[in-house]
Amino acid sequence: MRPDCLEIDTTLSRRWEHRLVLQDVEAIRLLLSGGSPVDWQRLAFRTLAEVDQFLALHLIDVENAEDRTRLRYVYNEAVSYLEEHLGLSFPAEIRSPADVRQAFLWASHWDGFRRTQILSCVILKLMHVIQHMEAADLRHKAAISEEACFDLAYQRVLDGLRRLREDGLPIVSVHASRKARSSVISKLIAKRDNVAATIFDKIRFRVVTRTTADIVPTLAWLTRHLFPFNYVIPGQSYNNLVRPEDLIALLASEERAQVIPEPPKLAQHGKNEFSGASYRMLNFIIDLPVALPDAVRPPGFSFELGKVVYVLIEFQVLDEATADTNEIGDNAHAAYKARQDRVVAARLKRGGLAR
């Protein structure tokens, strides 16, 4: 595929200075916990500029007429579903707002759960689902291979990670890898759960920060400038590096009371069973939006299906000292592969008696 270690300048000409705001913290907590935004009760956008930046991560340009039409279409589809199938009714200003972006601000209202805030949240959750569903339909209809989609996603992430360095994040190294065919086979055999047919880490990016204190600012940059936090794959995060509850302390005092209630926990459901006992890592899976070239888009579906498809990307973020420890003894990759190979061989030979 590509070189494993990407050539990114690691010298710092300046330091990224950005105070975390409530939306940063909520987005990062979702990555750390492996939750779903469908379970959320509120967003935390304060201005239309913040909404525009979030939409840009979805490759929606609010200055582009086609993108505005697509955004309105998905909004209307969500409202229609809620009215027809769930029997909800909406005030006129919510059912047909002059500016769809206003729904993001209504959904972010704090100080009690008002009807406008709740209904706006419900609509945005449906938009989240519809956008993803129709992007899958577009991918089936488009004349493009999986390999070509991987290349589009790879280039988008690579461009983003280079900007991350230019913005002054203290990154020691970035590694990209594409899972080899033999590794896919081994993983499919070794897995026993109901998602055995899904391999989430065919493309992986590992970002190594200088210190543990640099992990959270790096995550904040990624969720602001590279990928939309709402397409983290639920139940596929593993985190034993950063405590989600510690993020709240980074907020200004007036914002702490607005944090969405969530039980403090470390996400363990995405743990790889073959990793060493002391292996430490933060990893999560993002369905990354990429724009299809006009030449491969099916004709006649401009606003119904849009121009975006999604590609699963695994991100691993850890500090340099932890990365070094993860390569020693029981945590080393060779030891990991040996444990996996033993299970694969035993399962093929003895089937259900292997464990």
DSSP string of 21-39? -HHHHHHHHHHHHT--GGG
The DSSP bridge partners found for residue 317 are 207, 282
Q: What is the pLDDT of residue 219?
A: 95
Indicate if the pLDDT at residue 274 is higher than 80.
Answer: no
> Among the ranges 124-128, 144-148, 191-195, 273-277, which has the highest mean pLDDT value?
124-128
Q: What is the pLDDT averaged over residues 215-229?
A: 95
| Closest C-alpha to 344, from 191, 215, 137 | 191
Indicate if the pLDDT at residue 3 is higher than 50.
Answer: no
Residue 249 binned pLDDT confidence (cut-offs 50, 70, 90):
confident
Structure-token pair, residue 342: 């033993």
CB atoms within 10 A of CB 200: 20
> Among the ranges 147-156, 173-182, 184-193, 196-205, which has the highest mean pLDDT value?
147-156
Residue 353 binned pLDDT confidence (cut-offs 50, 70, 90):
very low
Residue 83 binned pLDDT confidence (cut-offs 50, 70, 90):
very high
Indicate if the pLDDT at residue 184 is higher than 80.
Answer: no
Indicate if the pLDDT at residue 12 is higher than 70.
Answer: no
Direct distance between the N- and C-terminal alpha carbons of the chain, in angstroms, rounded to an integer: 35
Indicate if the pLDDT at residue 72 is higher than 50.
Answer: yes
> Among the ranges 39-43, 134-138, 161-165, which has the highest mean pLDDT value?
134-138
The residues spanned by each domain of the chain are 22-37+143-354
The CATH architecture assigned to 22-37+143-354 reads 2-Layer Sandwich (3.30)
CB atoms within 10 A of CB 228: 21
| Closest C-alpha to 53, from 283, 261, 224, 303 | 224
Indicate if the pLDDT at residue 193 is higher than 80.
Answer: no
Mean of per-residue pLDDT scores for the chain: 83
| Closest C-alpha to 54, from 291, 309, 227 | 227
